[in-house]
A and B are shown apart, each in its own frame.
Chain A
Amino acid sequence: MESKIRKQWKMASLDEIKRFVLSSFTEVKKNPCPVDQLRRFTDHTRRNSCGECVICREGLLQLAVVTESITQGLGREQDVEIIKDISADLVLGSGCDYGKEVGRIVSQRIAENAEDLTRHIKRKRCDTLVCNKLLTFYVAPETCTGCSKCVDICPVSAIAGGDRLIHVIDVSLCNRCGACEDVCDDKAIIRAGAVLPKLPEAPIPAGSFQVETEASGLMSRKRRRKSE
């Protein structure tokens, strides 16, 4: 195994630390989902901890693991409290400013995005459609050319189709890995929430799909609001 250089934040100036932490955060902020931002931020900062103090080494690791599980739809009710406890302790008890700076940002983001976090955990929903495991992929029937690339790449064979036929994703089989999205040249793989537009139930020839009026989609959205 090659030896990687370990960061030595104890030796670094406050300015240097602030610059590093802030730039780490700016980098992840391009991502629209606040929970996924947190996941990326804590993962990146835990990988750069010097690792000597428990709260920074294990605390950041725990934050990274907890936020990742939330973005995967495996969030538990106590996770919000865990994140709050750890970030508060990072600010209070870190041995150097690295942990404190990271803790401050996490605390602040938790306070500002409490609702997003709760929606991820309780409703298993990512409003920004960033967290793969919390959304639904479907093939836009009007765009799909039936090239079969997505059919071939799907690791769980959840996509039905054939040459020049509009492909159809079986939601119950799909593992939301997003491989089809990456491989599609026509941008026909679409991310959606729990509600899908009207789609063909089985593959039909490409170009033969009739786009419906939006009425049913709107109505279903209304129904959902009521139940919320």
Chain B
Amino acid sequence: MAEPRTIDIKDQPGFRSIAIICLLVLYVPVLILMIFSLNSGSLVTHWEGVTLGWYGSALRNAEFHNAARNTLIISVTATIVSTICATLAAIGMTRVKPWRGLSAAFMVINLPLMVPEIITAVATLSFFALIAGMFGLNFGIGNLILAHTVFCIPFAYMPIRARLEDMDLTLEYAAADLYATPWNAFRRITLPLLVPGIMSGAALAFIVSFDDFTITQLVAGPGQTTLPLYIWNQIRRPMTPEINAISTILLLVSILFVSVSFLIARQRAK
């Protein structure tokens, strides 16, 4: 036995069956949802034949269009703003002299991850109700963008900070040594090397904002229906496979988005 033996997970008793059960529980419902989007009948529980008709009617549905546009406006804006904030926060907390309140700031940024979302939702609702009542301020869809931006920041912050902490500080010393001002060193060295972290932070923020329900449900005003809210409203009526088609479209968009950001991150990391 010359070579030290490492444990092979596949040899562990029960590994195979537990893994299969987990995969089934996770993905079979999704798979069934996707299959029934092709059902030619009008029930989501009774299979009659194959059709793409529900995709057609979903894509022609004006309410769906409206919800999709709202969702994209909110998610994209919230992703961009929260990623910028998270990047600045991560730099301000790793690339500076330790300052008083540094660990407190870290806690505050990450607290939203631990607070139950319904509490954040109620608090956000009260906040907007308060400023509407006191100052008559209502930003319309801006309320939702603001709320999404705030709760996306910790999600974007985590991977960016991790990347900054893993980065070799000597590279920044080397840049300074080679006459790069702090701004140039950041622009030419730190930022390009940080891109994979920023990409995964942004992807995470986008997904979190894209499918947020709880906060959106409470904060959204009339005409501010997002896709999750739209789906929620639909399933309270008699359901048709159109819902399945819409859900499948959402799923494919998410998968596409995550894959692209993953590929970009991997490309940059090379």
Q: Do A and B bind each other?
A: no
